[in-house]
Amino acid sequence: MACPLLAASTLSTWVIVVAFIAAALLIGLMLVSAIFSVWLERKVAGRIQDRLGPTRVGGKFGWLQTLADGVKLLAKEDFIPAVADQMLFRVGPYIALVGSFMGFLALPFGVGVVAMEMNIAVFFMLAAMSSEVFGIILIGYGSGSKWSLFGGMREAAQMVSYEIPMALCVIVPVIVAGTMNLHTIALQQTGGIWNWYIFHDPFTFAAFWTYFTCAMASCKRAPFDLAEAESELVAGFHTEYSGFRWLVIFMAEYGSMVAVSGIANVMFLGGWSLGIPVELAESLKFDFLSFTAFGRDLNLGLILGNVINVVVFIFKCWFLVFIMMWVRWTLPRLRIDQVMMTCLKYLVPIACVLLVGVSLWQLLLPAAVATILSWVIFGLSMAGLAWFAWTLKTFASAKPGDAMAGMWRMTDVPGYQGAKQPT
Tell me how many degrees the CA angle 338-341-345 measures, rounded to the nearest 5: 150
pLDDT tens, residue by residue, 287-305: 556 656 555 666 677 778 8
Average pLDDT score over residue span 243-251 = 87
Average pLDDT score over residue span 344-355 = 94
Q: Residue 417: pLDDT above 50?
A: no
Name which residue leads in pLDDT, 128 or 394.
128
Tell me how many degrees the CA angle 228-94-105 measures, rounded to the nearest 5: 105
* The pLDDT value given to residue 378: 92
pLDDT tens, residue by residue, 123-172: 899 888 888 889 999 998 888 888 888 888 888 888 889 999 999 999 99
pLDDT tens, residue by residue, 306-324: 888 889 999 999 999 999 9
Q: Which residues of 182-214 are buried (b: 16+ CB within 10 A; e: fewer)?
A: bbebbbbbbbebbbbbbbbbbbbbbbbebbbbb
Are 88 and 141 a contacting pair, CB within 8 Å? yes
Are 374 and 201 a contacting pair, CB within 8 Å? yes
The H or E element containing residue 339 is: helix 336-341
d(CA 136, CA 144): 14
* The pLDDT value given to residue 274: 86
Q: Residue 4: pLDDT above 60?
A: no
* The pLDDT value given to residue 49: 82
Q: Assign 393 to helix, strand or coil.
A: helix
339, with CB counted inside 10 A (0-12, 13-18, 19+), is buried
Give the model's confidence band at 1: pLDDT under 50 very low, under 70 low, under 90 confident, else very high: very low
